[in-house]
């Protein structure tokens, strides 16, 4: 249950799609379909990046939490507690 | 394949073809497939054109070909495919082909006729022999009672005056289904005065015409009395029986039988010879027919194309008008030069300006062809307007995947498409005739991208066959909630449903880095969260897609030289769209970023804010998202409403002003226009300033055509369509939410009702393993049938609709026509 932030994923994803669209575009060989391939790369990067961004922004500040069945809560409480004991030696 | 941004430049060329070389030139052009001929003789009927005689000869030849093909098919043979390059033959070769074909056809007809008559004769002989050979014992025995015979009569002849009457015989054969009727009729008509015996042949004989085997019944009728004899003969004639002479003496009959058998053997030999000759003729037909068919088809196409050319006044050459891509003009001229050089004359082609809208030509390769195909299904673009296809290559599979997002299903679709793509060059795959398979095969690259994007959106929705996966650790901690809220095990046992509260420290540890947190798939209220997420996502994607469409319109306006539309149409449209719905997107993102769980109880509702924005009212219970929100909103609404009259009146007024200005100085303008026209016609050939759909037109004509009421009406329709469309189209994008919800729910139901029951059956190892096999089979079949095929088609359809209507009506008119070049490729098998 590591603490997640927004910055690290944001940087990683942006670098990945940015690399794909800008950097790779320069290296497409000069053929008849060069323009179309670059269009494809740029459109793909924009669509995928935007979709990921919407997903992460939507649960950045959740207004309510999940409603779990008691069996599920019991399992998660004990299962993850044990795992954390193994990982960090402490319990939260 | 060039850039697919807009149609290639297409020019009208005039070809001068000297009569001697016209045929070869057109045939060469057909091989290359460069130009589309325009029909210059449209007013002339088909029967009055110049080459109608040649066309008719080709058609008659094709009729003979059909007859030969039918004969080959009847004999059970297959025509081989023509090999090699077969150019259209010169006209003098047509005579040779015609002669050969006629000869073959006549031979074939003769041989078939002979074969037929021989078979009929053989059939007769066989029947006769069978009738004679058939034993009708009792009857024959009675015949001998009147002769010196040792055999005791089996039948007592009726006594008295009838004893000295001779017994006569009628022997013949009748079809088996008629035999009972014949027997009954004979009995009723001549009762008592005849004895008829019927017996069936042991082996069936083949019918000479149809070739069906039929078992005939032979009969032997012995009667006495002449009148009876006549009656019998009439009856047998009625029933179409074959009647043969029946000799009384057995030796005579035996001799006759021997003779018949000899005859039939000879006949069979002759028949064998005939059939050998027939197969020889058919072999020659097989060799000659396929290339001849291709050649004559090409020749007919060339003559039909030549019929579209007009004859020049000096009757020395044909003039043809054709559309040709500018890039292919050198190839065209070279082809004409080469093919006419053989005849010693020269054919030329030169460009002429045109008043009509040229056809659209967009070159595609096999990957982009399917995407261009779905754009063209809506409508082929106007000449040189922006082509939505290069963006559709990505946005169409992406929007499909938003509605279909599931890693497992996407992976299955991707693998299926990959298999088709890797096997695309195999001849067995290409030759398959099944239409449904052809549809799927034609869209294999489409399916490939759709599957790939579905895997991506499946990871974001965190669904693999409706199961979530924890690639990263979840951002919600139950342990922290349990510790801080006193959730002991006893407490948990008493309460069946408990909600995690993000306000409690340590419960929410941060957003899941890639996609939706897996804990939501375990939650009972996951739909509440997902619905909110997906609805907002749909609106954001919709507004971005539509804004992109409006921006693409900019390129159209600049290319067609209608820069006034940039200021008077694009800018108001963008302001209206972004001012209202872009602001909605801003509200969504702002709330996501700035409203957290601490203030969850009093969180502002975007919906109520949006409604109040339009009604200029205020809800006291709904707190503002940011200071001065109401002022900003009021300003935006006023600005958007102010754009409506600009959109409505801007362009028509501008056009009217320009029209009046032009009328005041006519001469100067006209010179300018003509100079601009005779130069390289690029954008100038197309619409100069008119908003009407007919592009192209000279300036002089434009002045006469500018009807103010039409322009105002057109602009009013456009304004209403855009403004009301903004609202309805944004709502239309909510189908992205609806279909992805349906897909997720169907997938979850299938899992819960089928697989989970199977996996939870019994603790013994053996039972579960055996039962899982049929259960998994059911799960797999239903996944493919319902979730892949049905949902896939549904999502495909809706993604297509979003593109065709919501995206393309912002900039695309689709009122052009395709360049369909004159080519033999379609006729080559």
Kindly report the nearest CA distance between residue B493 and chain A, in angstroms: 7
Predicted pLDDT of residue B693: 38
Does the pLDDT of residue B77 top 50, yes or no?
Answer: yes
Q: Give the chain B residue whose CA is nearest to the CA of A44.
A: B394
Which candidate, B563, B572, B580, B570, places its Cα nearest to that of B549? B570
**CA of B316: how far to CAs of B310, B311, B349, B351, B782, in Å?**
11, 8, 16, 21, 71
Q: Locate the chain B residue with the closest alpha carbon to A84.
A: B479
Q: Is residue B214 a contact partner of residue B204, using CB atoms and an 8 Å limit?
A: yes
Q: What is the pLDDT of residue B151?
A: 43
Residue among B541, B563, B546 at smallest CA distance from B554:
B563
Taking contacts as CB-CB distances below 8 angstroms, the residues of chain A near B593 are 57, 60-61
B547 versus B123: the higher-pLDDT residue is B547
Under the banding of pLDDT at 50, 70 and 90, the label for residue B97 is: confident
Query: Lowest-pLDDT range, B476-490, B519-533, B576-590, B811-825?
Result: B476-490
Hey, how many other C-beta atoms are within 10 angstroms of the C-beta on A12?
12
The residue among B358, B453, B376, B472 whose CA lies nearest residue B411 is B453
Q: Quick check: B797 pLDDT over 70? A: yes
Q: What confidence tier does B216 reach under pLDDT thresholds 50, 70, 90? A: confident
Band of residue A86 on the pLDDT scale cut at 50, 70, 90: very low
Alpha carbon distances (Å) from B509 to A70, B262, B521: 21, 107, 18
* pTM, rounded to two decimals: 0.81
Query: pLDDT band at residue B645, thresholds of 50, 70 and 90?
Result: very high
What percent of chain B lies above the pLDDT cut of 70? Answer: 90
Closest CA to A63 of B591, B610, B484: B591
Interface of A with B in 54-83 (CB under 8 A): 54-70, 72-74, 76-77, 80-81
Closest chain B residue to A11, measured at CA: B513
Return residues 12-31 of A near B (CB < 8 Å): none
* Helix or strand holding residue B10 (H, E): strand B10-18
How many beta-carbon pairs under 8 angstroms link A with B? 196
Closest CA to B549 of B247, B263, B804: B804
The yes-or-no verdict on residue B359 having pLDDT over 80 is: yes
The tens digit of pLDDT for each residue in B463-500 reads 999 999 989 888 888 888 888 887 777 888 888 888 88
Q: Is the model's pLDDT at B566 over the cut of 60? A: yes
On whether the CB atoms of residues B79 and B283 are closer than 8 A, the answer is no
Q: Is the pLDDT of residue A73 over 90?
A: no
Q: Given a cut of 50, is residue B695 above it in pLDDT?
A: no
Compare all CA atoms of chain B with the CA of A45 and give the residue at the minimum distance.
B394
ipTM field:
0.90
pLDDT at B387 over 90: yes
Cβ within 8 Å, pair B497-A67: yes
B477 to A80: CB separation less than 8 angstroms, yes or no: yes
Residues with Cβ within 8 Å of residue B250, at least 6 apart in sequence: B140
| B623-641 residue pLDDT tens | 899 999 999 999 999 999 9
């Amino acid at each position: 249950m590591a603490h997640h932030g927004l910055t690290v994923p944001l940087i990683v994803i942006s670098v990945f799609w940015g690399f794909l669209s800008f950097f790779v575009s320069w290296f497409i060989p000069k053929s008849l379909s060069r323009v179309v391939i670059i269009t494809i790369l740029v459109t793909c990067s924009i669509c995928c990046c935007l979709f990921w961004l919407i997903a992460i922004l939507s649960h950045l500040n959740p207004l309510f939490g999940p409603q779990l069945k008691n069996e599920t809560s019991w399992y998660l409480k004990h299962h993850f507690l044990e795992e954390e004991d193994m990982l960090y030696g402490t319990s939260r | 394949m060039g850039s697919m941004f807009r149609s290639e430049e297409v020019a009208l060329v005039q070809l001068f073809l000297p009569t001697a070389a016209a045929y070869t030139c057109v045939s060469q052009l057909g091989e290359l497939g460069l130009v589309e001929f325009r029909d210059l003789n449209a007013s002339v009927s088909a029967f009055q054109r110049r080459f109608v005689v040649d066309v008719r000869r080709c058609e008659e030849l094709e009729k003979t070909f059909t007859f030969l093909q039918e004969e080959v098919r009847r004999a059970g043979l297959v025509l081989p495919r023509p090999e090699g390059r077969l150019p259209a033959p010169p006209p003098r070769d047509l005579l040779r082909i015609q002669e050969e074909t006629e000869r073959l056809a006549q031979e074939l007809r003769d041989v078939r006729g002979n074969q037929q008559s021989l078979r009929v004769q053989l059939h007769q002989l066989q029947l006769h022999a069978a009738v004679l050979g058939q034993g009708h014992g009792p009857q024959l025995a009675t015949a001998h009672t009147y002769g010196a015979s040792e055999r005791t009569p089996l039948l007592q002849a009726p006594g008295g005056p009838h004893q000295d009457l001779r017994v006569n015989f009628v022997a013949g054969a009748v079809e088996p289904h008629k035999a009972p009727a014949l027997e009954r009729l004979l009995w009723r008509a001549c009762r008592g005065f005849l004895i008829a015996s019927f017996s069936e042949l042991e082996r069936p004989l083949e019918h000479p015409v149809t070739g069906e085997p039929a078992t005939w019944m032979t009969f032997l009728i012995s009667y006495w009395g002449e009148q009876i004899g006549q009656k019998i003969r009439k009856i047998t004639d009625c029933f179409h029986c074959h009647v043969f002479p029946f000799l009384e003496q057995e030796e005579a009959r035996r001799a006759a039988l021997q003779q018949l058998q000899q005859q039939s053997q000879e006949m069979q030999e002759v028949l064998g010879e005939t059939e050998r000759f027939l197969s020889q003729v058919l072999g020659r037909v097989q060799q000659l027919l396929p290339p001849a068919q291709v050649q004559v088809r090409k020749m007919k196409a060339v003559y039909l194309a030549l019929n579209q050319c007009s004859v020049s006044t000096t009757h020395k050459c044909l003039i043809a008008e054709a559309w040709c891509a500018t890039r292919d003009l050198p190839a065209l001229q070279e082809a004409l030069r080469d093919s006419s050089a053989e005849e010693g004359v020269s054919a030329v082609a030169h460009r002429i300006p045109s008043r009509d809208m040229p056809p659209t030509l967009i070159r595609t390769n096999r990957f982009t062809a399917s995407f261009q195909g779905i754009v063209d299904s809506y409508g082929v673009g106007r000449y040189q307007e922006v082509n939505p296809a290069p963006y559709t290559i990505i946005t169409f599979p992406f929007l499909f995947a938003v509605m279909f997002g599931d890693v497992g299903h996407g992976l299955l679709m991707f693998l299926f498409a990959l298999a088709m793509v890797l096997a695309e060059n195999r001849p067995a795959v290409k030759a398959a005739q099944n239409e449904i398979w052809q549809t799927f095969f034609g869209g294999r690259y489409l399916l490939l991208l759709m599957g790939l994007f579905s895997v991506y959106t499946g990871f974001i929705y965190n669904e693999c066959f409706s199961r979530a996966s924890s690639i990263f650790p979840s951002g919600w901690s139950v342990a922290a909630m349990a510790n801080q809220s006193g959730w002991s095990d006893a407490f948990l046992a008493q309460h069946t449903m408990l909600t995690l509260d993000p306000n409690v420290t340590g419960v929410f540890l941060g957003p899941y880095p890639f996609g939706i947190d897996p804990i939501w798939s375990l939650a009972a209220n996951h739909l509440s969260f997902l619905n909110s997420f997906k609805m907002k996502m749909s609106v954001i994607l919709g507004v971005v897609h539509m804004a992109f469409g409006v921006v693409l319109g900019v390129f159209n306006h600049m290319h067609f030289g209608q820069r006034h539309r940039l200021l008077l149409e694009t800018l108001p449209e963008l302001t209206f769209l972004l001012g209202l719905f872009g602001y909605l997107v801003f509200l969504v993102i702002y709330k996501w970023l700035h409203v957290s769980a601490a203030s969850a109880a009093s969180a502002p509702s975007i919906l109520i804010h949006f409604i109040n924005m339009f009604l200029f009212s205020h809800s006291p219970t709904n707190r503002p998202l940011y200071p001065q929100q109401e002022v900003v909103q009021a300003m935006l609404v006023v600005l958007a409403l102010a754009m409506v009259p600009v959109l409505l009146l801007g362009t028509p007024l501008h056009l009217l002003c320009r029209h009046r200005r032009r009328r005041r100085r006519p001469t100067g303008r006209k010179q300018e226009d003509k100079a601009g026209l005779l130069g390289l016609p690029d954008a100038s050939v197309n619409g100069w300033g008119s908003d009407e759909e007919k592009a192209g037109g000279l300036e002089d004509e434009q002045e006469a055509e500018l009807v103010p009421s039409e322009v105002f009406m057109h602009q009013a329709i456009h304004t209403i369509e855009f403004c009301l469309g903004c609202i309805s189209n944004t709502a239309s994008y909510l189908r992205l939410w609806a279909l992805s919800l349906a897909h997720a729910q169907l997938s979850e139901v299938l899992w819960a009702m089928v697989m989970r029951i199977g996996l939870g059956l019994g603790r013994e190892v053996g039972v579960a393993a055996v039962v899982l096999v049929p259960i998994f089979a059911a799960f797999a079949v239903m996944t493919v049938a319902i979730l892949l095929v049905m949902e896939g088609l549904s999502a495909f359809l809706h993604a297509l609709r979003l593109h065709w209507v919501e995206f393309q009506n912002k900039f695309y008119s689709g009122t052009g026509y395709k360049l369909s070049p004159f080519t033999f490729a379609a006729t080559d098998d």
